[in-house]
Structure 1
Amino acid sequence: MSETIRRRGGTGYLLLIPALLWLGLFFVVPLYSLVATSLFDPAGSDFRGYTMDWAFGNYRDAFSTYWPPLLRSLVYGGIATLLCLLLGYVLAYAIAFKSGRWKNLLLVLVIAPFFTSFLIRTLSWKLLLADDGFIVNTLQAVHLLGADGRLLATPVAVIAGLTYNFLPFMVLPLFASLDKIDGRLIEASRDLYANPFVGFWKVTWPLSLPGVVSGTLLTFIPAAGDFINVQLLGSPNQAMVGTKIQSLFTDANDYPTAAALSVILMVLIVGMVLVYVRRAGTEDLL
């Protein structure tokens, strides 16, 4: 029996090898390359015009120069995540508890945007929010926008694009958590004379927290690093850190600063995620 257990354990380790090789090749190696590039001396001339000089000053220079778009990225990503949570929770709740035999169809509709390119979806928002478009004309007609008001090239357009594009990442984890809740627990709260709000806050919300945490992480992390939405829907005044990193890599060819800025963003997000998950206290994620 013990020999059989050891064989099964050895088989388990062998099955891990492909995944470890994949992570090593496509995560560890690129991460090492990124960190190493962030320490090159821009004044050198060995590797693409740079030399390894352990230039930790690159981080100071990158942060002092680009802290506004860095902060803007966190703010825009946070607002979009909050909007996705509010909209996604209502939608996931309706699908889990109210949809009946339409549940599968509604789930397909949630993921339907993924059948279209991210770029095409964002360009569609650009058409919807155009200055002479239906939305702007309607808002001007009801005097919510001035005669010369616009939505494109504003924070509203960027956050709206982020919210739309990343909403499915919020809905699916929320639905998975809500769908697992035993309906008898909700009925029990009613039998104990709890009103719908108290029953939701005491029963449904705590049981759905794993989905809330997973959804907010899956939404906030890509939203904070996004650059397509601000490039198509915003202006230089709404530039996010992803836009600056892309520009530094491809236009300015300033690899050390771009890499340093990437590492700063990654460290900030990882730190925020660790604090958030610990404060949320969801055992399923720790």
Structure 2
Amino acid sequence: MSETWVDKVRAKVGTKKDLVRSGLAEFIGTFVLVLVINSVVAQQILPKNGTGNALIGVNVGVGLGIFFGVALSAKASGGHINPAVTIAFLVIQQIKPVKALVYIVAQTLGAFFGAVVTYLVYYNAINAFDGGRHQVIGTKATAGIFASYPAPHLGTVNGLFDQVVGAAVFVLIILHVVDRRSGYPGWAQPAVIGTGFVMIGTAFAYNAGYPLNPARDFAPRLFTLLAGYGGKTFSFNNYGWFWVPIVGPIIGGILGALIYNLFLGVHGHPAGDYEVVSTREVTVVTHNTNEKAAEHVVEA
């Protein structure tokens, strides 16, 4: 078979450096994640006469965004696509600090450009909805397409707790799925994780839309600031909100990882005494054998 142009480009610009490949995978996975999530929310907010996505449709769309975001990046990087997941894995020593930093930078950049493309796709629809006056609050507000804003009833402390609990449950699900003892085949893991996030959406969306991902919330919020939504994107609620979807998921992710290991991860399995001890390749230790399986992990 003759060499294709793809083969020629791969030979010239393709990289074998693991950090570069992993960073590119985290970028594109998070890009797809945020593009899908922002677009799904846009179709909830922008249509008139109640024709937009219902909340269950949003939950399913977000879950599918996670599914494909993880699937795209899992082979190269493990498919974290969420700094809260990466930091949780760092705390339990399943990823090295340098690689974690590369992941977080790539995730943030991917989320930013995901928001940019969403804005361009829905540019006319957004302007038709708000008359070109991009607003953070009010009946014509469209900033919520890109980043989370709390419901009127939600206080800062309760909002922080909301994010901690939601992220803890999500990381708990992720660790369960990627633990070799659970028996999920690699091809099924992104789907199970995405389905898990649909469940989280149906349980935790009421307070603040369950962002549960620092990159997914911060980077699009920064974009809206640059796109003309004004300083209210960060000063909303007297600066009492923008940091909550950053700090809360990080705390929750670490808590979820520790809970999983305390209650399940460190205990022997009746059939083989398995133990998960590394990152992108999850080392599974049995009584007599060492096996390695690619891990697939994410987020929202």
Question: What TM-score, normalized to structure 2?
Answer: 0.26
Question: What TM-score, normalized to structure 1?
Answer: 0.26
> Considering only CA atoms, is the larger Rg found in Structure 1 or Structure 2?
1
Q: Which has the higher helix share?
A: 1
